[in-house]
C-alpha cells in the first residue's frame, strides 16, 4: 500500500497544468497498490491529483481543514469539491472553527505526516502565507518523506 499526499498551488499557470497531470499520472502508475491519496481538495493541484487518483483506481482520503471550508471555493471549484468529497473513502475533519492560515497549515502538516510520498505541484518559491505549499514540503523533508516536485522549468506563478 502506498499513501500519497498532495500539496500544491491553487492557481496554476496553463503551461504547468499538463506537466502536473502527466507527472501525477506517472507517479500513480509506478506506486505500489493499493493507492491511498490524501488531499484537502483545494482548488488547483489538490483537485487535479484527486481526479487522477480516482481514475487510477485509488482511494481518496480527504482532510477538511476547518468548518466552513467549502465557503472558500468559487462556484465552479465548490461543485468539483463536493463531487470529489462525495467520492472519498475516508474524511477527516480537523478541529478548526474557521478556514484560515492556521487550519491550512495544520492540514498540510497532517498530510505530510501520513504519507509515504508527497507530490508537490510547486514552483519552489517560499510560501505566500502560513500553510502554503513550501510549508508542507519543508515538514515532509524534516520527516524524511519521499517528495516529488512537479513543476516545469522556467514557468512562474503570478
pTM, rounded to two decimals: 0.96
Show the domain range for 113. Answer: 2-149
Residue 154 belongs to a domain: no
Look at the block and give the residue holding cell 505530510: 112
Residue 39 belongs to a domain: yes
Domain at 99, CATH number: 3.40.50.450
> Does the structure show a pLDDT above 80 at 57?
yes
> Does the structure show a pLDDT above 90 at 30?
yes
Cα distance between residue 77 and residue 96, in whole Å: 21
DSSP string, 61-87: EEEEEETTGGGGS-HHHHHHHHHHHHT
> Does the structure show a pLDDT above 90 at 31?
yes
Question: Please, what is the angle between helix 133-142 and helix 101-114, to 10°?
Answer: 40
Residue 157 belongs to a domain: no
Query: For the chain, how many structural domains are there in total?
Result: 1
Residue 158 belongs to a domain: no
Residue 155 belongs to a domain: no
pLDDT digits (tens, 9 = 90+) for 83-110: 999 999 999 999 999 999 999 999 999 9
Amino acid at each position: 500500500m502506498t499513501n500519497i499526499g498532495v500539496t500544491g498551488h491553487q492557481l496554476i499557470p496553463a503551461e504547468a497544468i499538463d506537466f502536473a497531470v502527466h507527472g501525477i499520472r506517472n507517479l500513480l502508475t509506478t506506486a505500489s497498490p493499493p493507492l491511498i491519496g490524501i488531499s484537502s481538495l483545494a482548488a488547483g493541484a489538490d483537485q487535479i491529483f484527486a481526479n487522477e487518483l480516482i481514475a487510477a483506481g485509488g482511494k481518496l482520503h480527504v482532510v477538511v481543514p476547518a468548518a466552513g471550508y467549502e465557503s472558500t471555493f468559487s462556484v465552479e471549484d465548490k461543485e468539483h469539491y463536493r463531487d470529489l468529497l462525495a467520492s472519498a473513502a475516508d474524511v477527516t475533519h480537523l478541529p478548526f472553527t474557521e478556514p484560515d492560515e492556521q487550519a491550512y497549515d495544520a492540514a498540510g502538516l497532517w498530510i505530510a505526516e501520513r504519507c509515504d510520498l508527497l507530490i508537490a505541484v510547486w514552483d519552489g518559491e517560499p510560501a505566500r502565507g502560513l500553510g502554503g505549499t513550501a510549508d508542507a514540503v519543508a515538514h515532509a523533508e524534516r520527516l524524511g518523506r519521499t517528495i516529488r516536485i512537479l513543476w516545469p522549468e522556467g514557468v512562474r506563478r503570478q
